[in-house]
């Protein structure tokens, strides 16, 4: 059901001095995120202006994945900035028309995914995912997972980018390869299937529209500790290209592979890895100093998630985990292994994976 219009869900809230500190603001934002959306009446977003002082505000914007993905937030911020300039500076320049509506995109997608196209791609996935096993035989606990933040420093981030450039692989491939190796060492699993989001914004007409375009793709990893680390990254890079090229809607993939839908279990994979590198506009506005910060509520049905976002010259790492499986100390240990493995690969990519792991102890 698509409504032609909906009400405005916006509140203004004065924040007491004791609640104006960053930790308290984070908790207030989390409270706003936790309130369930009404799918019948809508709208599927809410916004709150938290006023800390006359010239100090925090704008919290919560939006459901049913109507927006990470890329959409860049579109929203860009339009918000344009509207601010129009109001404050008196500009008469209107926002450009949307090149393609989300409804039109959906119709194009449905027309494309004919049974023959789906079946051709499913053959790739049958071969790619053959023999993959569930890692934990525990259902996903109800409610949102716990969230713990870490950071990759600027120097290691720069080294990661440089290795990607030297080896002609993507920044994602280096980070994801290091994550797979670290996760294998931490968990004891060598045969991995990890889900990662794909933007689905290759068409220019889809780049300026809000909506949930993103899909999710399972990536296979089989850790051989005798393998040269750089070779593993290059193979993973090619596998990612092939997997993205053969991506199909996740529901279609699950159905075609005959995965049983069990309450409390996510089909195909239990771990999610995401590099949030979708475009965001530069914050440069007249008479206004602003900083953007993204937050995930972590309500997706996975046992463990790792979300990496650019933060200045470094990277923010958000770990999402289920307390019935992992403790905070477990996740801190995983984060430490991940960062040491990443540093080891960047500084000695010609070493075998076993050597990288030995030096990361």
pLDDT, position 89: 76
**Using H for helix, E for strand and C for coil, what is the string for 8-55?**
CCEEEEECCHHHCCHHHHHHHHHHHHHCCCCCCCCCCEEEEEEEEECC
pLDDT, position 279: 66
Residue 344 DSSP SS3: helix
Q: Which two tokens stand for residue 48?
A: 């709150």
8 A C-beta contact, residue 265 and residue 139: yes
Integer Cα distance of 43 and 126 in angstroms: 40
- Rg, Å, the chain Cα set: 22
pLDDT, position 257: 83
The closest alpha carbon to 150, from 343, 341, 308, belongs to 308
Integer Cα distance of 45 and 27 in angstroms: 18
Q: For 151, list phi and psi in degrees, rounded to 5.
A: -145, 140
Integer Cα distance of 277 and 73 in angstroms: 12
8 A C-beta contact, residue 357 and residue 186: no
Sheet holding 191-198, edge to edge: 146-152, 314-321, 304-311, 271-276, 191-198, 215-222
8 A C-beta contact, residue 130 and residue 193: no
Residue 305 DSSP SS3: strand
All domains of the chain in start order, with CATH: 10-89 (3.30.559.10), 115-359 (3.30.559.30)
Provide the whole-model pTM. 0.85
The closest alpha carbon to 59, from 32, 36, 88, 40, belongs to 32
pLDDT, position 242: 96
Q: Which two tokens stand for residue 356?
A: 């990288």
Q: Residues in the chain, how many? A: 361
**How many helices (H) and strands (E) would you count in the chain?**
10, 9
pLDDT, position 130: 87
> What is the residue-level pLDDT of the chain in tens, covering all 361 positions?
566 667 778 899 998 888 888 888 888 888 898 888 888 888 899 999 999 988 899 999 999 888 888 888 888 888 888 888 888 777 766 677 888 888 898 898 889 888 888 889 999 999 999 888 777 766 666 667 888 999 999 999 999 999 999 999 999 999 999 999 999 999 999 999 999 999 888 888 888 888 888 889 999 999 999 999 999 999 999 999 999 999 998 888 888 887 766 656 678 889 999 998 776 767 677 788 887 777 776 556 788 999 999 888 999 999 999 888 899 999 999 999 999 999 999 999 999 999 999 986 7
pLDDT, position 300: 60
Cα dihedral 341/343/348/353 (nearest 10): 10
């Amino acid at each position: 059901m698509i409504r032609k219009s909906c009400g405005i869900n916006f509140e203004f809230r004065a924040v007491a001095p004791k609640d104006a500190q960053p930790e308290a603001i984070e908790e207030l934002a989390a409270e706003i995120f936790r309130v369930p959306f009404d799918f019948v009446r809508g709208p599927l977003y809410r916004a709150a202006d938290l006023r800390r002082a006359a010239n100090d505000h925090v704008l919290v914007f919560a939006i459901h994945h049913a109507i927006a993905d990470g890329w959409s937030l860049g579109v929203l911020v860009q339009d918000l900035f344009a509207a601010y300039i129009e109001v404050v500076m008196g500009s008469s320049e209107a926002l450009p028309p949307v090149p393609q509506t989300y409804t039109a995109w959906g119709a194009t997608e449905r027309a494309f995914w004919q049974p023959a196209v789906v079946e051709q791609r499913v053959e790739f996935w049958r071969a790619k995912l053959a023999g993959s096993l569930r890692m934990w035989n525990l259902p996903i606990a109800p409610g949102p997972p716990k969230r713990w933040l870490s950071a990759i420093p600027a120097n290691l981030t720069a080294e990661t980018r440089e290795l990607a450039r030297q080896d002609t692989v993507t920044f994602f491939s280096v980070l994801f390869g290091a994550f797979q190796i670290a996760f294998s060492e931490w968990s004891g699993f060598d045969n991995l299937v990890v889900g990662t989001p794909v933007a689905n914004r290759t068409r220019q007409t889809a780049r300026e529209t809000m909506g949930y375009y993103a899909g999710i793709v399972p990536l296979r990893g089989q850790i051989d500790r005798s393998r040269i680390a750089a070779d593993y990254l290059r193979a993973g890079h090619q596998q990612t290209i092939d997997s993205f090229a053969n991506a199909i809607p996740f529901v279609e993939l699950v159905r075609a592979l005959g995965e049983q839908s069990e309450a409390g279990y996510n089909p195909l994979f239990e771990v999610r890895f995401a590099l949030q590198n979708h475009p965001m506009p530069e914050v440069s506005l007249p008479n206004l100093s602003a900083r953007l910060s993204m937050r995930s509520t972590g309500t997706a049905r996975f046992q463990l998630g790792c979300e990496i976002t650019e933060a200045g010259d470094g990277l923010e790492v958000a770990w999402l985990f289920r307390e019935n499986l992992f403790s905070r100390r477990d996740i801190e240990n995983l984060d430490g292994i991940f960062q040491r493995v990443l540093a080891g690969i960047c500084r000695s990519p010609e070493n075998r994976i076993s050597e990288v792991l030995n030096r990361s102890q």
